[in-house]
């Protein structure tokens, strides 16, 4: 009897699974941010420099950022805004434009409840306000450290979590902030509800404090760290918390209890979380190029979906050194085989003998496009002996030096073989 019930249950589960478990595929790199609009549209921010705007499972790629996109939000009318490692904040929709720039990586975005501006926080230690109407651009008083996370409450007060572990509340745009918590470890994420603020930190701290006084209401700190993502669904009172060890913990903001604890990935972080408008689905992203959406009520019945099976996580010990160099240091940004790639860097297929900056569908920096380098054993060796920032100053390739001559030689031997294969 019990066996029959179990079979029946698993049949039901697989029917629901087919209906509700969704994956959004197409990005060429890890997923750093996800947002769901009031209308139910999903936007994703990726390491591949693009924002994906999904209608069902079909993506529209919003291109314009020059480095990884780390944050994405929707305006109430469904227009996405995004920010990233290229220091810029961009508005999409019918008339896409750059709202402005920081002097460092942008980590977070928040929309003021009156809809008049977007706040962005950056590791440059500033919080800037970008007007969505014809108002003037401005800056909040100094938060005293790099900013990791921002959120507004319904009264228009802005909360910020900093790299120095301070949780701040700005009661106005001009007065200095009130220190709510001085945590000692960087505060990565925060979310808030009626009368409370929840935050997650580098050391795994996951706490809820009173939004007026900063007094602690609840502590959900487990032995997992760092806390990397957090989102709240006001109508159902659910809070989802994602961490560096691949778990999604669900909290109930009415009873302040843990309702579910789900292993979403076998390896690697949960960087991005968002609820569907009705709170029934939780969207999550991480190291994989895929966004997963699980029905919350059935979380415990699923195997980890983000399986961490990216090629660079394959058992390194079993790989020859050249392949290992590539998998660890290059594969996150470069494809090797012919065909379209959505990775952040150009496809390396056919690299040897090719002039720099000539993959037709790739949008290079002006520097690489006008370069007269031809890629061969000598130039690829020089690229990583000196580092791209010295060998081709002004290119958008990240700084990276491979110090050991044998590692460079092994990498080049691997590349010669792997970029020539069809």
Q: What is the C-alpha R_g of the chain?
A: 23
Instruction: For residues 106 and 121, give the distance between their C-alpha atoms in angstroms, rounded to a whole number.
Output: 6
Opening angle at CA 265, ends 29 and 255, nearest 5: 120
Q: Position of tokens 């050249």?
A: 322
Contacts of 173 (CB under 8 A, 6+ apart): 129, 138, 140
Least spacing, CB of residue 339 vs ligand HEC, in Å:
15
Q: How far is the CB of 62 from ligand HEC (least distance, A)?
A: 18
Tell me the closest approach of the beta carbon of residue 79 to ligand HEC, in angstroms.
27
Smallest separation, CB 401 to ligand HEC (Å): 10
DSSP H or E run through 325: helix 321-329
Nearer to ligand HEC, 134 or 372 (CB): 372
- Nearest approach, Cβ of 302 to ligand HEC (angstroms)? 31
Residue 238 tokens, joined: 């659910």
**What values do phi and psi take at 217, rounded to 5?**
-105, -40
- Beta carbon nearer to ligand HEC, 238 or 371: 371
Q: Which is nearer to ligand HEC, 22 or 379 (CB)?
A: 379
- What residues line the site for ligand HEC (CB under 6 A)? 329-330, 332-334, 344-346, 351, 356-357, 359, 364-365, 367-368, 375, 380, 384, 395-398
Beta bridge partners of 159: 151, 169
Q: Is 402 left (phi over 0), alpha (psi -120 to 50) or beta?
A: beta
Q: How far is the CB of 64 from ligand HEC (least distance, A)?
A: 15
Residue nearer to ligand HEC on the CB measure, 192 or 348: 348
- Closer by beta carbon to ligand HEC, 183 or else 310: 310
Q: Based on CB atoms, which residue is closest to ligand HEC, 23 or 405? A: 405
Q: Are 149 and 160 in contact (CB under 8 A)?
A: yes
> How far is the C-alpha of 46 from the C-alpha of 270, rounded, in Å?
13
What are the angstrom distances between the C-alpha of 55 and each of 58, 72, 157, 212?
5, 16, 33, 40
Shortest Cβ distance from residue 309 to ligand HEC (Å)? 19
Residue with tokens 């580098």: 202
State how far the Cα of 215 lies from the Cα of 46, in Å rounded to an integer: 36
Nearer to ligand HEC, 165 or 322 (CB): 322
């Amino acid at each position: 009897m019990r066996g029959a019930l179990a079979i029946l249950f698993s049949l039901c589960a697989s029917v629901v699974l087919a209906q509700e478990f969704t994956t959004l595929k197409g990005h060429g790199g890890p997923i750093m941010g996800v947002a769901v609009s009031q209308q139910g549209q999903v936007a994703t921010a990726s390491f591949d420099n693009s924002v994906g705007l999904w209608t069902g499972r079909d993506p529209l790629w919003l291109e314009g950022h020059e480095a990884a996109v780390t944050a994405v939000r929707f305006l109430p009318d469904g227009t996405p805004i995004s920010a990233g490692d290229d220091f810029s904040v961009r508005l999409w929709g019918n008339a896409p434009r750059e709202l402005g720039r920081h002097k460092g990586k942008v980590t977070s975005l928040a929309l003021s409840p009156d809809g008049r501006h977007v706040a962005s926080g950056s590791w440059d230690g500033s919080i800037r306000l970008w007007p969505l109407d014809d108002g003037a651009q401005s800056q909040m008083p100094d938060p005293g450290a790099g900013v990791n996370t921002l959120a507004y409450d319904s009264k228009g007060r802005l909360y910020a979590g900093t790299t120095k572990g301070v949780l701040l509340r700005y009661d106005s745009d001009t007065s200095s902030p009130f220190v709510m918590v001085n945590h000692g470890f960087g505060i990565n994420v925060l979310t808030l509800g009626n009368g409370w603020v929840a935050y997650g930190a580098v050391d795994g701290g996951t706490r809820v404090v009173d939004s007026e006084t900063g007094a602690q209401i609840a502590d959900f700190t487990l032995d997992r760290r760092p806390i990397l993502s957090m989102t709240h669904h006001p109508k159902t009172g659910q809070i989802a918390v994602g961490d560096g060890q691949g778990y999604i913990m669900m909290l109930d903001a009415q009873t302040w209890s843990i309702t579910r604890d789900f292993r979403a990935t076998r390896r690697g972080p949960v960087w991005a979380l968002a609820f569907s408008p009705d709170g029934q689905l939780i969207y999550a992203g991480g190291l994989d190029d895929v966004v997963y959406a699980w029905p919350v009520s059935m979380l415990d019945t699923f195997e980890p979906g983000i399986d961490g099976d990216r090629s660079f996580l394959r058992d390194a010990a079993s790989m020859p050194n050249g392949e290992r160099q590539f998998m660890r240091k290059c594969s996150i940004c470069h494809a090797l085989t012919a065909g379209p790639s959505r990775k952040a860097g150009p496809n390396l297929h056919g690299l040897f003998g090719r002039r720099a900056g000539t993959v037709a569908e790739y949008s290079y920096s002006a520097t690489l496009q006008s370069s007269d380098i031809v890629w061969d054993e000598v130039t690829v060796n020089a690229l990583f002996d000196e580092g791209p920032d010295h060998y081709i100053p002004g290119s958008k390739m990240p700084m990276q030096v491979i110090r050991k001559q044998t590692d460079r030689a092994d990498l080049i031997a691997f590349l010669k073989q792997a970029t020539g294969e069809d």
